[in-house]
Chain A
Amino acid sequence: KAGVTQTPRYLIKTRGQQVTLSCSPISGHRSVSWYQQTPGQGLQFLFEYFSETQRNKGNFPGRFSGRQFSNSRSEMNVSTLELGDSALYLCASSLVQGQPQHFGDGTRLSIL
């Protein structure tokens, strides 16, 4: 069974641009969560989607948004990029609530 797949693995953008990251969950998993990992702030929860609906949201500005498609694949979008958005963005999927979350390899986003 394929794991959680995140694309691209690396991305370089400049300030002010926008970016879209993609996450394909494990087959059959309907919950997808996104996390931001930085050296200063550690791992922080961005949001969670289940059956195309956002169920939970972390404390991030409105520039961070996401969506989930009918096949459970998810995308997150960051608009008007800032230097502080440089981070590893991790996606995790789970079968149902309470079951362990399985993580992808992440997308390393660098803002110049």
Chain B
Amino acid sequence: AQTVTQSQPEMSVQEAETVTLSCTYDTSENNYYLFWYKQPPSRQMILVIRQEAYKQQNATENRFSVNFQKAAKSFSLKISDSQLGDTAMYFCAFSLRGNEKLTFGTGTRLTIIP
């Protein structure tokens, strides 16, 4: 079975600063996907970024980037130039290639302070 661990229940950072959220996972499989989802108070789960395990290059989406360390089974999210709208719960998630089931971590509550 796959597991996803987020060890930071809460974080806060000043607006415009950079913050990194941690995620580790455990799997014996080689082909999989990793995701970061954001859930603001409005409760809709929004995809932030996606990484394919067979790609060595780290995924980037505007201010959001990941540090994917496959051997260490680590998948951290870096948010640059943080904005008030980034305040949300952030979930790290895993899925096997060929399987839609997402396994989520427990989440990190991120607060951006004005």
| Residues in A lying within 8 Å of B, measured CB to CB | 31, 33, 35, 42-43, 45, 48, 50, 55-56, 58, 88, 90, 92, 94, 97-98, 100-106
Q: Say whether chain A's binding surface is mostly helix, strand, loop, or mixed.
A: strand
Is B103 touching A45 in the complex (CB atoms < 8 A)?
Answer: yes
| A100, closest chain B residue (CB) | B47
Contact A55 B45 (CB under 8 A): no
Is A88 touching B50 in the complex (CB atoms < 8 A)?
no
Chain A residues within 8 Å of B68, by CB: none
Total number of B residues with any Cβ neighbor in A under 8 Å: 22
Instruction: Name B31's closest neighbour in chain A (CB-CB).
Output: A98
| A50 contact set on B, CB distance < 8 A | 100
Contact B100 A58, beta carbon cutoff 8 Å: no
Chain B proximity of A45: nearest CB distance (Å): 5
Chain A CB within 8 A of B46 CB: yes
Interface readout for B17-55 with A: 1 if CB under 8 Å, 0 if not?
Answer: 000000000000000010101000011111100100000
